Amino acid sequence: MTPREVLALCREKDVKAVDLRFMDFPGLWQHFTIPVSKLDEDIFEDGLGFDGSSIRGWQAINESDMLVVPQPETAWIDPFTELTTLAMICNIQDPITREDYSRDPRNVARKAVNYLKSSGVADSAFIGPEAEFFIFDDIRFDHKSHQGFYYIDSVEGEWNRGRDEGPNLGYKLRHKEGYFPVPPADQMMNIRNEMMQTMIDCGLDVEAQHHEVATAGQSEIDLRFQELVHMADQLLMFKYIIKNVAKKYNKTVTFMPKPIFADNGSGMHTHISLWKGNEPIFAGSGYAGLSEAAMYAIGGILKHAPALLAFTNPTTNSYKRLVPGYEAPVNLAYSQRNRSAACRIPMYSASPKSKRIEFRCPDPSCNPYLAFSALLMAVIDGIQNKINPGEPLDKDIYDLPPEELAAVPKAPGSLDEALLALASDHEFLLRGDVFTSDVIETWIKYKMEREVDAMRLRPHPYEFCLYYDI
């Protein structure tokens, strides 16, 4: 879509407002709105000013002026606003130099794709994330100097089997048994259908929706793979639609990786494939139907996985999900079927066009522009440097003898471990100026100070259960 076509769409749909959106550094969508009368073709070139110092992880107050530059191909009609509103995703620029801003996550993703093309490895990178989430009925939480708590409730929650609901119909999903019972046990069917249809109406290509493993409304809606930057754009629309449809039903959604103790967390298994000259370069005659390039790509992912997790699993809560001994993919190995391996090769189809690598570690708390870009850079490094991934892990991980299990490398056990890994292993991210040193340093500093240290300083409620009577 061109700027002129966007203006024509505004006239056709009788648009009254234009919402300009961009992603902050940690990974939340931000926006401001202008009357449609203020939108003209010049804005697509000149941009609009805003205060960059008020955005997390961005400019200092003495360098606060920045520009949002709307991207016409991202235009869509927001289905949730009372006033007819057209939304567009924006790039961020410096108003003086007109250079794209290095800490704009979308700019990082665009540079990653350009670097792929310039490397000669491939022309296109396609990403297919499987983002899981919870639909709750109630959420309350707080933390002060003298108290801290959270309270979750769901009509599906196993803990509500004995609640007087006038009447309680008894359809409560047991822990780890939410995959795939039909209604009435699955009480989120109508909500997910509306989420799915709203996505389709907004131009997203939805493949499936279903209940996930956990009790209390855990769900998944899958989008068809797309080119990297486009997929990151769509994932933001995806989250926005899911949260706002839930709100219509007076429910709330979280993409927090591990909100419920003793049940499955929410991951975002991420599929990646590379194409060159309209041909998939991961298809071949090797292990699991993979090419030599695909094997090297796996080698790159596994080598850099501890550093990658600083972007793909960027919250302290992420590591409540990535715990050894469960289904979580903490083993830095690959397999064609083993879901406890960090890299899996899906075997659903024999078609070369479907051949891809599934990186199972990521979760939906990530900033998709940064996470997908870091994953692509690890893949490129693996192919360029012919990194051998070793032997596959096709055995049942739970049956391995202790000495054999100990030889399998493990993912970091905490966010600070992942950040330390990133601090010592990020040269592969700097190539092509994709991730700048400033981006890496700011990410580590922000995460350490605002999240890792903030958690370290606070007593945990369960510590009182363990230690109060000492």
Q: Which of 5, 40, 51, 438 is catalytic?
A: 51
Residue 121, token pair as written in the block: 């490895």
**Residue 437 corresponds to which amino acid?**
S
Helix, strand, coil distribution of the chain in percent, nearest 5: 40, 20, 40
Among left, alpha and beta (phi > 0; psi -120 to 50; other), residue 130 is beta
Catalytic residue among 21, 192, 211, 269: 269
- Of 186, 212, 233, 263, the active-site residue reads 212
- C-alpha pair distances (Å), 184 with each of 78, 110, 146, 170, 178: 31, 44, 42, 10, 12
From the candidates 78, 104, 132, 451, which is the catalytic residue? 132
Active site (annotated) includes residue 132: yes
Q: What is the C-alpha separation between 442 and 27, in angstroms, rounded? A: 14
Tell me, yes or no, if 356 is annotated catalytic.
no
220 catalytically annotated: yes
Q: Is 164 a catalytic residue?
A: no
Q: Which of 211, 344, 360, 426 is catalytic?
A: 360
Q: Which of 78, 104, 130, 158 is catalytic?
A: 130
* CA 122 to each of CA 53, 110, 269, 275: distance values in angstroms, whole numbers, following the listed order: 37, 15, 22, 6
CA separation, residue 427 to residues 314, 374, 454 (Å) = 19, 11, 28
Number of other CB atoms surrounding residue 417 within 10 Å: 16
Q: How far apart are CA 210 and CA 219, in angstroms?
A: 6
Tell me, yes or no, if 130 is annotated catalytic. yes
Q: Is 269 a catalytic residue?
A: yes
Does the active-site annotation cover 339? yes
Q: Which of 104, 358, 363, 416 is catalytic?
A: 358
DSSP assignment, residue 451?
I
CB atoms within 10 A of CB 16: 16
Q: Which residues are catalytic?
A: 51, 130, 132, 212, 220, 269, 339, 358, 360
